[in-house]
Amino acid sequence: MADEKNMESTDAVVVADAEVKTPTAKKQRSPRSLKTTAEPVRAASKATAAKVPIAKPRRYGEQERNEKLKLIETQTSEGTSTLKDAIKSAGISEQTYYQWKRTAKPVDTKGDKRLPAGDELADLVQLEEENQRLRKLLADKLRAENSDLRKRLGLAE
């Protein structure tokens, strides 16, 4: 009988363990959404991406470049803004500014050259006359020196 009691107690333990270990019902997951429902999310992300402007490189003509460079120079020379601020207000990057400045054609100053006034013209004429006189003196001196050297070398003609 002791064996029967032992069995009963193990059966009770097994039953008690079975009650404790009884798995609870698993939570039901909702079925996966189909790919067609995922596409509107992508479309929405594309729509937000469309709102952000994509920076396209803008090509400026030679005249526009020169105008922007002049604008920047006037702003900095007047002291109204710093170079960086002037470049930003012109709507270009610093790199672009320095590239344009490096490749900019020098301004033709020959067309802007003014003619000398009356007094300056008289001074210019006087300087040219003095220049001619000095050239003649130098030529005479060189001829004399040359003939002297020929006599010393015995090449006199």
**Is the Cβ–Cβ distance between 83 and 76 less than 8 Å?**
yes
Chain-wide mean pLDDT for the chain? 77
Whether residue 96 is contained in a domain is answered as yes
What pLDDT is stored for residue 115 in this prediction? Answer: 62
Whether residue 111 is contained in a domain is answered as no
Q: How confident is the model at residue 137 (pLDDT cuts 50, 70, 90)?
A: very high
The pLDDT of 15-33, averaged and rounded, is: 69
The total number of structural domains in the chain stands at 2
What pLDDT is stored for residue 134 in this prediction? Answer: 97
Considering only residues 143 and 22, tell me which one the structure prediction assigns the higher pLDDT: 143
What pLDDT is stored for residue 106 in this prediction? Answer: 65
Instruction: Please state the pTM of the whole predicted model.
Output: 0.34
Which residues constitute the domain of residue 148? 126-157
